[in-house]
């Protein structure tokens, strides 16, 4: 671990050179539609807006910021015909192979799940499969920032104690499959979270719906530019 702390960003870029993906950015004159399409098709969470003359990044676009902008101006935009249909009817979200964790799952195991399934969060369930928390990549980054990562064998429950009371915790925000698209968008924007956990009447996890799922269906699908739904949750 001491050796890891001594490495700088340049060193890590050199080590991971063969695994690096192309730098994805967008021009300030590009349309909002192009920004959404680039975010979703490139599978990135942040999109730098780069001045083509200076090469300077002048802004960072995210799914959350874009959806919030659309939400704030919803009354000035034509509402889609499917606005009041349920997410079940619209088949938005991931319902098959939803990856979850238990309180006893170790941080090391959670890291493996993040990498193996290319996901950014794990709903945490109890012995009755009811959702009780959520563990995200951000929580791992927080452990690293606090230099409390020496023992990756600690459980998620122990790791989450470092987060309790933190204002940055998004919390577990849930919805049901009979909620309308309008209700789901309202929930995710007001809660300022990246995903909703879809639960049944007994609070069992049955799916995940993410910001990219919503933007994909709201903006790209009507234009015939949507990304096909994945089999595994990628919130």
Question: Residue ranges of the domains in the chain?
Answer: 2-223
Model pLDDT, residue 226 = 78
Could you identify the residue written with the tokens 């879809």? 198
Cβ atoms of residues 57 and 48 within 8 Å: yes
Average pLDDT over residues 205-233: 85
Q: Which CATH number fits domain 2-223: 3.50.50.60, 1.20.1370.10, 3.10.580.10, 3.40.50.720?
A: 3.10.580.10
Q: CA–CA separation, 37 vs 39, rounded Å?
A: 6
- Residue 164 confidence (pLDDT) above 80: no
**Local structure of 84: helix, strand or coil:** coil
Q: CA–CA separation, 147 vs 124, rounded Å?
A: 23
Cβ atoms of residues 159 and 139 within 8 Å: yes
pLDDT tens for 176-215 read 999 999 999 999 999 999 999 999 999 999 999 999 999 9
**Local structure of 45: helix, strand or coil:** coil
For the chain, give the number of residues.
235
Model pLDDT, residue 78 = 84
Residue 234: pLDDT band (50, 70, 90) is very low
pLDDT tens for 78-134 read 888 999 999 999 999 999 889 999 999 999 999 999 999 989 999 999 999 999 999
Task: Read off the pTM.
Answer: 0.83
Model pLDDT, residue 224 = 85
- For the chain, the first-to-last Cα distance in angstroms comes to 29
pLDDT tens for 26-57 read 999 999 999 999 999 999 999 999 999 999 99
């Amino acid at each position: 671990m001491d050796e890891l702390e001594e490495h700088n960003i340049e060193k890590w870029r050199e080590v991971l050179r063969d695994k690096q993906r192309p730098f994805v950015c967008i021009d300030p004159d590009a349309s909002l539609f192009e920004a959404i399409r680039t975010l979703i098709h490139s599978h990135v969470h942040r999109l730098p807006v780069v001045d083509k003359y200076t090469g300077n990044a002048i802004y960072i676009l995210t799914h959350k910021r874009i959806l919030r902008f659309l939400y704030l101006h919803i009354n000035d935009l034509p509402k889609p015909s499917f606005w009041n249909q349920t997410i079940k009817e619209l088949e938005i979200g991931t319902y098959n192979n939803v990856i979850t964790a238990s309180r006893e799952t170790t941080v090391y195991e959670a890291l493996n799940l993040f990498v193996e399934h290319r996901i950014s969060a794990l709903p945490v369930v109890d012995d009755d499969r009811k959702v009780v928390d959520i563990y995200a990549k951000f929580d791992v980054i927080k452990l690293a920032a606090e230099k409390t990562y020496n023992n990756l064998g600690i459980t998620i429950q122990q790791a989450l104690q470092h987060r309790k009371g933190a204002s940055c915790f998004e919390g577990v925000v849930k919805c049901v499959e009979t909620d309308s698209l309008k209700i789901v968008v309202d929930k995710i924007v007001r809660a300022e979270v990246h995903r909703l956990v879809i639960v049944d009447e007994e609070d069992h996890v049955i799916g995940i719906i993410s910001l990219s799922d919503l933007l994909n269906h709201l903006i790209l699908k009507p234009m015939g530019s949507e990304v096909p739904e994945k089999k595994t949750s990628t919130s």
